[in-house]
Amino acid sequence: MNVLSLFDGMSCGQMALERAGIKVDNYFASEIKNHAIKVTQHNYPSTIQLGDVTKIIGTDLTKIDLMIGGSPCQDFSRGNAVRDGLDGDKSGLFFEYLRILKECNPRYFLLENVIMTPSDEYLISEYMNTEPVRINSKRVSAQLRDRLYWTNIGPEQFDLFGNRKCAIPQPKDLKLKLQDILTEGYTDRKKSRALLESDSRPLRTLEKMWHRYNDTGFTTVVYESPDLDWEKGLRYFNQTELERLQTVKEGYTSMLKRNDAACLLGDGWTIDVIAHIFSFLVESE
């Protein structure tokens, strides 16, 4: 199978294909972040890096069987005060995905993005000719990560008007708890909130950490004391815990410092969710 991954990051797609038992002949990756490429090439040295997505011409590539990607989400995100959607500079890169999809005409495709406004979801569904399946990573990890996946892989349903909807079933709920994946320390939550790219920029004082956790909810902290007294010490997730939350194999980002790894993991995919979707590729063959 020849695979093209746009916005590849640290090659979460490649890891998920491996976990699903899908043999890959050639894996083409479009990525511009140097530290992401460094991680990918360390773990998968045969990856063929193509660079900037806007410079790729799909018809110049060998026949692509599977095209995947998670186009930038910033202009869709509920954490963004200004939500320009597909008109935004970053999330508008979806149209590069769409252009290359038409040029490559692969047998299978997968597009991932965040939960967004109904109007934005409808527009993308119209362009992709399918409604997405919605899967929260909490079913396979200790993290709350609610995401949309547009794909023609696996089972499908059609409404009275002939509109296609992906009918991939939900993955088995493993009932993992946040405390289960901590290397040390304590938590007062069953699950972590979704990892974000901003986890690469941790706050330094206890007061600021506590405010961001308790008042804004934009982070998750680990207590150092079993009585959950924040004034006795707090910390952010370490690199191993970040990998476990995304179900990435431990040590995958070991060549990076913690904050650089947090940047990639926050932008990445939950491997076991993607492997679940890819498991239906096996049934399709």
Report pLDDT for 23: 95
Domain boundaries, the chain: 2-173+271-284, 178-264
Among left, alpha and beta (phi > 0; psi -120 to 50; other), residue 162 is left
Report pLDDT for 89: 59
The Cα–Cα gap between 33 and 43 comes to 16
Distances (CA, A) of 147 to 11, 73, 166, 265: 18, 11, 14, 15
Coil/strand/helix, residue 164: strand
The length of the chain, given as a count of residues: 285
Which residue from 140, 190, 149, 186 is spatially nearest to 168, judged by alpha carbons?
149
The Cα–Cα gap between 92 and 269 comes to 20
Report pLDDT for 218: 83
Distance of CA 34 to the CA centre of its chain: 18
Token readout for 20 is 């699903």
User: Which CATH fold topology does 2-173+271-284 show?
Assistant: Rossmann fold (3.40.50)
The Cα–Cα gap between 216 and 229 comes to 18
Which residue from 192, 107, 112 is spatially nearest to 145, judged by alpha carbons?
192
Phi, psi of 6, deg, nearest 5: -95, 145
The Cα–Cα gap between 271 and 8 comes to 13
Which residues does the chain have with pLDDT short of 50? none
pLDDT tens for 143-169 read: 999 999 999 999 999 999 899 999 999
The percent of residues above 90 in pLDDT, for the chain, comes to 81
**Contact in structure between 259 and 202 (CB atoms under 8 Å):** yes
Name the percent of the chain in helix, strand, coil, to the closest 5. 40, 15, 45
pLDDT tens for 27-82 read: 999 999 999 999 999 999 999 999 999 999 999 999 999 999 987 665 556 655 55
Q: Are strands 108-114 and 133-136 parallel, antiparallel or unpaired?
A: unpaired
Q: Which amino acid is at 143?
A: Q
| Residue 69 host element (H or E) | strand 66-69
Please state the pTM of the whole predicted model.
0.93
